[in-house]
Structure 1
Amino acid sequence: MLCSAINQDLLIERARQVRIGSLLSIYFAGSGHPGGSLSAADLLTALWSEELNVFPEDRESTSRHKFILSKGHACPALYAILAEMGYLQKTALKTLRKLGSPLQGHPHVLDLPCVEASTGSLGQGFSVAIGMALGLKKQQKAERVYVLLGDGELQEGEIWEGAMCAAQFQLDNLCAIVDYNKLQSDDFNERIMGLEPLGAKWEAFNWHVLEIDGHNFFEISEALAKSRSHGLGPTLIIAHTLKGKGVSFMEGNPAWHGSVKLQLEDMETSLDDLGMTNEEIQRSLHGNV
């Protein structure tokens, strides 16, 4: 389904709520990864709102598409979109990283029916997605597999082994999306291990490559539609994004990847940037997500 103007307004608001929910959960947890959660919010919103047909009560559904968050540290955004879609209570978001909570610091397959694989060790989620796609293809099933990768994650050798494998088996039921925010844990990608020319590399591995603005719902929707109609192998969507998207002091700043504690004043500024009123901010920060 291609994004309409009406749908775009709904998706923009839903993504705003995903960003708010992500930051609130990280704040209450006292730790987490805000930058990459904010950059991925629009991609996750589009996937869960328009592309996936997930029935969390039925893990064995024959019509269920698969989604794997290979950049597992961005799980606050995943949990937030699940809450927006009604798979979680919004109040559960403030249990992130708490003992006994299903919302752990990386997704855990046994804790949430919507989670297809435990991820966090970078590169492994991509391999799991390839295995799922290959299994579905061999069984001649119609489900598709979507996997969201971080750009720093592409520095893992396992990614390139998987890229060869997926092309070899012509996995046209596999769509990988790169949250290409140009930053990773310690610095800019280019200062650690340059990725360019990124599109040409994947094309050389016989992938169908699309490049889009990862914050534009029309472009996201169109790219997902093209991935469905491409029948000659796997698709890679390079989604150009902004790390920390929506929060002025986080945007483009590698310091906000993770391993930082959000202070009260940080949250007040962040939530104001995301369009909350002062009354809403104070109510949210006192425990009512």
Structure 2
Amino acid sequence: MRRFVNHINGGIMVRVLELKRMANQIRQDIITMLVPAKSGHPGGSLSAADILAALYFHEMKVNPEDPHWADRDRFVLAKGHAAPVLYAALAEKGYFPKEEILGLRQTGRILQGHPDMRKVPGVDMSTGSLGQGLSAANGMALAGKADKKDFRVYVVLGDGEMAEGQVWEAAMAAAHYKLDNVTAVLDYNGLQIDGTTDNVMASDPLDDKWRAFGWHVIEVDGHNMEELLAAFAEAKTIKGKPTILIARTVKGKGVSFMENQVGWHGNAPSAEQAEQALKELREEAARLG
């Protein structure tokens, strides 16, 4: 795996610590919202928390007071079942009151099991059917170029999603149209709904495949905030082709009994399990200071 040698000053180091704290808070929010819902997807939401913390609280140009701001950066959660991580980031960013997360998956509330751009402020694309997110991101990026806008489009994909043919059609299209305003992130945690990605549908070597499809590829530790920030900065320097971050992550990251356990793909914790999970996350928050 490629490693970054970062020469960063004290101010950036402070920022990295703030982002680590935010990622931890996002994880706490994920656990908190799943208990009253009694359903949802903790594993792949927890694995993507650092990625969304880096995007929403450092990298992306957005305005919660004006969710439809024409010049904002766009975000597409291609793996829409991981909606809790997006909802947590949006709530922490101020798109809607934080208490709204307690209404996850409840009738009459805005936070459905998959993101709905018609109901949730800050959601740029409704997602759920795997394989379609990158195509939507390409459309946004093409529109931006046509309108001579300088916004960027970010899309988070799941590794199980790599078995979807439309992903690769979209990958070819993004390279063909030289969409250097697209940055994809592959949340590569190695597990999907009913087993390891290797057993269900082996897709490696993904780095070589994306390069062969004309993309600039950066491999990162998806839980290393310094590497994520450096990779996003590098992506903005690449011209004439899209960029993908292949982010190695741990499914269920931050909760000991959920980590690398396929059973936590789509099962909500009980109240007792949530209490233990939140205890661990709060202890980690205390270590971060």
TM-score scaled by length of structure 1: 0.92
TM-superposition CA deviations, 1:216-255 (whole Å, max 9, x none): 1110000001111101210010011000000011100111
| Secondary structure at 2:126 match in 1 | coil
Q: CA deviation at 1:30?
A: 0.6
For the pair 1:6 / 2:45, whether they are aligned, the reply is no
Correspondence list, 1:81-92, <5 A? 81-92=89-100
CA contact (8 A) 1:65 1:144 kept: yes
Q: CA deviation at 1:57?
A: 4.2
Correspondence list, 1:135-146, <5 A? 135-146=143-154
The corresponding residue for 1:207 is 215
The corresponding residue for 1:266 is 273
The corresponding residue for 1:128 is 136
The corresponding residue for 1:98 is 106
CA contact (8 A) 1:57 1:113 kept: no
Correspondence list, 1:174-213, <5 A? 174-213=182-221
Closer, same or farther in 2 for the Cα pair 1:103/1:276, shift >3 Å?
farther
CA contact (8 A) 1:127 1:159 kept: yes
The corresponding residue for 1:254 is 262
- Partner AA of 1:195 in structure 2: S
Gaps of 5+ in 1: 278-289
CA RMSD, aligned part only? 1.4
Correspondence list, 1:1-289, <5 A? 4-258=12-266, 260-275=267-282
CA contact (8 A) 1:68 1:129 kept: yes
Q: CA deviation at 1:36?
A: 0.4
CA contact (8 A) 1:177 1:237 kept: yes
- Segments ≥4 residues shifted beyond 6 Å: none
Separation in structure 1 between the aligned mates of residue 73 and residue 183 of structure 2, nearest angstrom: 11
The corresponding residue for 1:282 is none
CA contact (8 A) 2:64 2:93 kept: no
| Secondary structure at 1:58 match in 2 | coil
CA contact (8 A) 2:95 2:121 kept: no
- Partner AA of 2:249 in structure 1: T
Separation in structure 1 between the aligned mates of residue 177 and residue 65 of structure 2, nearest angstrom: 31
Separation in structure 2 between the aligned mates of residue 84 and residue 121 of structure 1, nearest angstrom: 26
State the number of aligned residues: 275
Q: CA deviation at 1:276?
A: 5.4
Separation in structure 1 between the aligned mates of residue 30 and residue 152 of structure 2, nearest angstrom: 27
